[in-house]
């Protein structure tokens, strides 16, 4: 898999009927964090491949001073005024969405914003977030949620009109994530010994439920469990029999790690969507995923097992059942194909076109030359 480079903005040539999109995001892959917001970069790259022109304003590093948000705001407003986009498209409701709302208002163009999870969880948990989120959503023509689970969360917490929210997940690149020989991948990665091989990808923290996963794995009495990622609970996993901690790896290497496993495990306490689960399914691997969040919306009985993340025994039984499923598992690939990033990008583009068309109608004018009305 070739990594998605943090290339200069607006690198693609807009085709007839294509949109001029100003993208505003607080997460984008950078030299020091190549996996940071990779799902945003993947969607953006596909929009460009489909003939849309994207001007990007992004934060491409983890951590740092809060001044980075002030710089993001200054850049977003400046680009909205100079670039003259058809639509401003933001990822994350706050702060990027709020910044994009101001930029779209000053640039007199419509706003569409995607909610990914943390931005919804923070409503009611972090002071002031609810008010900022309401203001952002009020400005937006449409809000995209990456799962029905998130859509329900927004409706329940903010009493948003359901028709204002579209559910479109980030999709999976089926050309990058596909079946491969596990023996070859295990040799390359230095994995040896008896299986089954279980893999968990993500931050080693409480929400990902990694300690419960290890306890469930230990109850099996056989196999190997590999963690790809890092986080505050690393020390609690170190030295456990049969457990390997690979640390963070570039997103371009994730397909190889998935190919090396028999089962991908993500029994999170809450999983807003479940990107790693979908990617594993595209690689023809069975999965163990949480009943809480987005995975129940795409994990079929033939592709994996849904477990109660609060029960170690439920997770243990899920690991056992998933390991008994076919490997490779064509049914998992078939289910993942419904979330092809090409399909999802086309759906996002339809939402963006709809926002542009509605905005033009409200202002009593047609879209400017070179920007034809939505054709569906």
The pLDDT assigned to 367 comes to: 52
Q: What confidence tens digit (pLDDT) does each residue in 92-138 have?
A: 999 999 999 999 999 999 999 999 998 988 898 888 999 999 999 99
pLDDT tens digits, residue range 295-313? 999 999 999 999 999 999 9
- pLDDT digits over 311-356, tens only? 999 999 999 999 999 999 999 999 999 999 999 999 999 999 999 9
Cβ(113)–Cβ(97) below 8 Å: yes
Q: What is the mean pLDDT of residues 359-368?
A: 71
Q: What are phi and psi of 247, to 5 degrees?
A: 75, -170
Query: Taking the domains of the chain in order of start, what are their residue ranges?
Result: 20-171+340-362, 182-337
Q: Give kind and range of the element (H or E) at residue 150.
A: helix 148-158
- Which pLDDT belongs to residue 298? 98
Mean pLDDT of 67-95: 97
pLDDT level of residue 174 (50, 70, 90 thresholds): very high
Structure confidence at residue 6 as a pLDDT band (50, 70, 90): very low
pLDDT of residue 5: 45
Which of 27-31, 122-126, 174-178, 309-313 has the weakest average pLDDT? 122-126
346, 335 in Cβ contact below 8 A? no
41-75 tens-digit pLDDT? 999 999 999 999 999 999 999 999 999 999 999 99
Predicted local confidence at residue 125, as pLDDT:
82
CB 314 within 8 A of CB 307: yes
Mean pLDDT of 159-183: 95
> Quick one: pLDDT at residue 363?
77
Question: Helix (H) and strand (E) counts for the chain?
Answer: 14, 12
pLDDT at 16: 75
Q: Which helix (H) or strand (E) holds 169?
A: none
- Residue 375 predicted with pLDDT over 80: no
> Does the structure show a pLDDT above 80 at 2?
no
Asked whether the predicted pLDDT for residue 34 surpasses 90, the reply is: no
The residue count for the chain: 376
What would the two tokens of residue 211 be?
A: 């300690």
- Percent of the residues in the chain that have a pLDDT greater than 70, as a whole number: 93
Q: What is the CATH architecture of 182-337?
A: 3-Layer(aba) Sandwich (3.40)
| pLDDT score recorded for residue 130 | 93
CATH code of domain 20-171+340-362: 3.40.50.2000
pLDDT of residue 12: 55
Binned at pLDDT 50, 70 and 90, residue 7 comes out as: very low
Percent of the chain with pLDDT over 90: 85
Torsion of CA 114, 120, 121, 125, to 10 degrees: 130
pTM of the model: 0.91
């Amino acid at each position: 898999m070739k990594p998605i480079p943090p290339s200069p903005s607006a690198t693609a040539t807009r085709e007839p009927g294509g949109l001029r999109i100003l993208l505003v995001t607080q997460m984008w892959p950078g030299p020091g964090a190549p996996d940071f917001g990779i799902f945003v970069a993947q969607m953006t790259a596909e929009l460009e491949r489909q003939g849309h022109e994207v001007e990007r304003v992004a934060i491409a590093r983890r951590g740092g001073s809060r001044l980075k948000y002030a710089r993001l705001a200054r850049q977003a407003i400046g680009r909205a005024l100079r670039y003259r986009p058809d639509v401003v498209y933001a990822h994350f409701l706050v702060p990027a969405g709020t910044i994009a709302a101001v930029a779209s208002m000053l640039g007199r163009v419509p706003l569409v914003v995607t909610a990914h999870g943390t931005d919804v969880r923070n409503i009611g948990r972090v002071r002031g977030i609810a008010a900022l989120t309401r203001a952002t959503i009020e400005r937006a023509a449409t809000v995209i949620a990456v799962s029905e689970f998130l859509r329900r969360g927004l409706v329940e917490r903010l009493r948003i009109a359901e028709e204002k929210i579209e559910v479109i997940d980030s999709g999976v690149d089926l050309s990058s994530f596909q079946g491969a020989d596990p023996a070859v991948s295990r040799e390359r990665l230095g994995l040896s010994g008896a299986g089954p091989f279980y893999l968990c990808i993500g931050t080693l923290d409480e929400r990902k439920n990694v300690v419960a996963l290890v306890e469930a794995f230990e109850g099996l009495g056989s196999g190997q469990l590999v963690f790809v990622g890092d986080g505050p609970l690393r020390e609690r996993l170190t030295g456990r029999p049969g457990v390997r901690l690979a640390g963070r790896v570039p997103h371009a290497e994730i397909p190889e790690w998935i190919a090396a496993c028999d089962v991908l495990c993500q029994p999170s306490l809450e999983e807003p969507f479940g990107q790693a689960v979908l990617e594993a399914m595209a690689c023809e691997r069975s999965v163990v995923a949480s009943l809480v969040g987005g995975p129940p919306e795409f994990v079929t009985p033939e592709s994996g097992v849904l477990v109660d993340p609060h029960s170690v025994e439920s997770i243990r039984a899920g690991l056992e059942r998933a390991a008994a499923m076919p490997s490779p598992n064509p049914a998992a690939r078939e289910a993942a194909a419904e979330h092809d990033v090409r399909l999802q990008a086309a759906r996002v583009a339809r939402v963006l076109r709809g926002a542009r068309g509605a905005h033009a109608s409200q202002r009593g004018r047609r879209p400017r030359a070179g920007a034809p009305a939505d054709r569906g």
